[in-house]
Amino acid sequence: MGIKLRLIIVNFLQFFIWGSWLLTISVYWFGNKQWSAANFGQIFSTMGIAALIMPTFTGYLADRFISAQKLYGILHILGGIGLLFVPQAQEPMQLFWIILATMFCYMPTIPLSNTVGYHILKTNNFDVVKTYPNIRVWGTIGFIVALWTVSLNHIENSHLQFYLGGSVALLLGIISFTLPNCPPLGKKEKDAPSDLSALHELWKNPQFALFFIFSMLLGAALQLTNAYGDTFISSFSSIPEYSQSLAVQYPAMIMSISQISETLFILAIPFFMRRFTIKQVMLISMVAWVLRFGLFSMGNPGDGLWMIVLSCIVYGMAFDFFNVSGSLFIEQNIDAKVRSRAQGLFTMMVNGVGAIFGSLVSGYLIEHFFTSQDTNGIAVRHWPEIWTVFTIYALIVTILFAIFFRSPQTQK
């Protein structure tokens, strides 16, 4: 089997694992367990906690002590075991700790998959810039296939989604040990104190500081749509008018339109970057987030299904344009001596601090201000109002970014 095909399989399985439960755990939580929204916010914060801690630690291990593909395999095996234990949780905090342990294993595999892929391609004389994007796109396809698998089998509300993800993780862990060796490359040029000092210098620049703050705020928006999109659509099952609609029957498939859109919009980025400044492209992303939430607030699985579908299409622009243009902003505006650390800080603010902020605050707000009890004592969440608040949040962030952010002088 060729190197490129093996890396395609690795990327496909990497994100199949995540897609098997990430967008549907909310249905399991609210529909199967009927636990509170406040506690659910803690579940999605686990990804942020893991993103703050583990990538740096495992990167240190891969740099100095253990081959990257072996560490990658070990983490997937441990993470797979964690997913297999999820159905054993009988109360919210038990599930929190299991998911936290699982995320401590899974989140560092995302940058490790890049490290392994880059090393293998370079040692086999491939042009990484031209070759790797065509391999990485199979990760998004894996996420989509996982969503469709869960949806077509109607296991959004079932523990089977975790058995599916856990089994695939174990399989990928085993496959990882068959990959070409990616040995530790030795001690880094600079130690941790120097890294911290360099990051401190970035924060002293007001525009760089603003950029990272807005990255955190947009990272929070990403968590909102991941956490509640599927359960929002599923909530219409209690309304006879919509209970048999296509969207309610296959909510994960509808949500997968977001990932399909993501694969298409990433191809459009060069077109936009040639015609607009990076700030303008990031503003387009923020306006797309406003539309994403606003369309959800007005949509339904009946005559409003087009709004839900359009919201999912807009997601591709909202996600890709900020993440890719944000990375390019760092590449073009931050000194090369600290650029890699700045990219790491960008990831931490989006997937770490932003994820924690978005998960915890949204969970608290939904539970205390947008949840009531029906006549049978079952919690009812008022989704139009919830999405309207998220829309206002995204709009405020967009306006503040347009007013206050100015691109610093380009560094060489």
Tell me the DSSP string of 38-74.
HHHHHHHHHHHHHHHHHHHHHHHHHHHTS-HHHHHHH
Helix ranges (DSSP H) in 108-245: 109-123, 128-152, 160-176, 192-204, 206-234
Rounded distance between C-alpha atoms, residue 237 and residue 253, angstroms: 16
Backbone Cα Rg of the chain? 21
> For position 410, what pLDDT does the model report?
47
For residues 89 and 215, give the distance between their C-alpha atoms in angstroms, rounded to a whole number.
34
The predicted model gives 390-403 an average pLDDT of: 94
- Kindly report which listed range (91-105, 190-204, 337-351, 369-383) carries the lowest average pLDDT score: 190-204
User: Residue 343: pLDDT above 70?
Assistant: no
Based on the domain organization, do 367 and 326 belong to the same domain? yes
Does one domain contain both 28 and 168? yes
Higher pLDDT, residue 233 or 166: 166
My answer on whether 77 and 200 are in the same domain is no
Residue 20 lies in a domain: yes
pLDDT of residue 398: 94
Predicted confidence at residue 374, as pLDDT, reads 75
When pLDDT is averaged across residues 114-131 and rounded to a whole number, the result is: 82
Least-confidence region, from 114-118, 134-138, 190-194, 358-362: 190-194
**371 phi and psi angles, rounded to 5 deg:** -130, 135
> Of 126, 150, 180, which closes a domain?
180
Asked whether residue 140 is domain-assigned, the answer is yes
Burial 55-65 (b: 16+ CB within 10 A, else e): beebbeebeee
In whole angstroms, give the CA distance from residue 242 to residue 401: 39
- Are 208 and 176 members of one domain? no
pLDDT by residue (tens digit) across 280-326? 888 999 999 999 999 999 999 999 999 999 999 999 899 888 877 77
pLDDT tens digits, one per residue of 2-33: 899 999 999 999 999 999 998 888 888 888 88
Asked whether residue 227 falls in the same domain as residue 258, the answer is: yes
Q: Of the candidates 180, 202, 219, which is a domain's last residue?
A: 180
- Structural domain contains residue 105: yes
pLDDT of residue 140: 83
Do residues 165 and 197 both lie within one domain? no
Domain count for the chain, please give it.
2
Tokens 């990497």 map to which residue? Answer: 14
Our CA angle for 131, 135, 137, nearest 5°, is: 120
pLDDT at residue 149 in the model: 93
Per-residue pLDDT tens for 53-98? 887 677 777 777 888 899 999 999 999 999 999 999 999 999 999 9
> For residue 228, how far is the Cα from the chain centroid?
13
CB atoms inside a 10 Å sphere around CB 197: 11
Tell me the CATH number at 96.
1.20.1250.20
Q: Judge whether 186 lies within some domain.
A: no
The per-residue pLDDT of the chain, averaged, comes to 84
187: in domain: no
Buried b (16+ CB within 10 A) or exposed e, 396-407: ebbeebeeebee
The answer on 225 and 170 residing in a single domain is no
Burial class (CB in 10 A: 0-12, 13-18, 19+), 384: middle
Q: Distance between CA atoms of 226 and 290, rounded to whole angstroms?
A: 15
pTM: 0.73
Instruction: Compute how many other C-beta atoms are within 10 angstroms of the C-beta atom of residue 368.
Output: 11
For residue 154, what pLDDT is reported?
A: 86
Is 167 strand, coil or helix?
Answer: helix
Q: Decide: 19 and 147 in contact? Cβ < 8 Å.
A: yes
Q: Are residues 100 and 172 in the same domain?
A: yes
90 & 10 share domain: yes
| pLDDT value of residue 340 | 53
For residue 161, pLDDT over 90 is answered with yes
Q: Which two tokens stand for residue 111?
A: 């940058």
Residues 209 and 140 in one domain: no
**Calpha distance 90→73 (Å, rounded):** 29
Q: 185 in a domain, yes or no?
A: no
Confidence of residue 412 (pLDDT cuts 50, 70, 90): very low
360 in a domain, yes or no?
A: yes
Q: Kindly report the backbone phi and psi dihedral angles of residue 299, in degrees, each rounded to the nearest multiple of 5, phi listed first.
A: -85, 160
408 pLDDT above the threshold of 70: no
Residues 206 and 309 in one domain: yes
> Which two structure tokens, joined as six digits, stand for 32?
């199967």
Instruction: Answer yes or no: do 117 and 208 share one domain.
Output: no
User: pLDDT band at residue 130, thresholds of 50, 70 and 90?
Assistant: confident
- Among 180, 213, 228, which residue terminates a domain? 180
Contacts of 358 (CB under 8 A, 6+ apart): 44, 219, 220, 221, 222, 223, 224, 227
What would the mean pLDDT of 127-145 be, rounded to a whole number? 81
Note down the domain range covering 94: 1-180
**pLDDT at position 331, please?**
64
The pLDDT of 117-142, averaged and rounded, is: 82
Residue 244 within a domain: yes
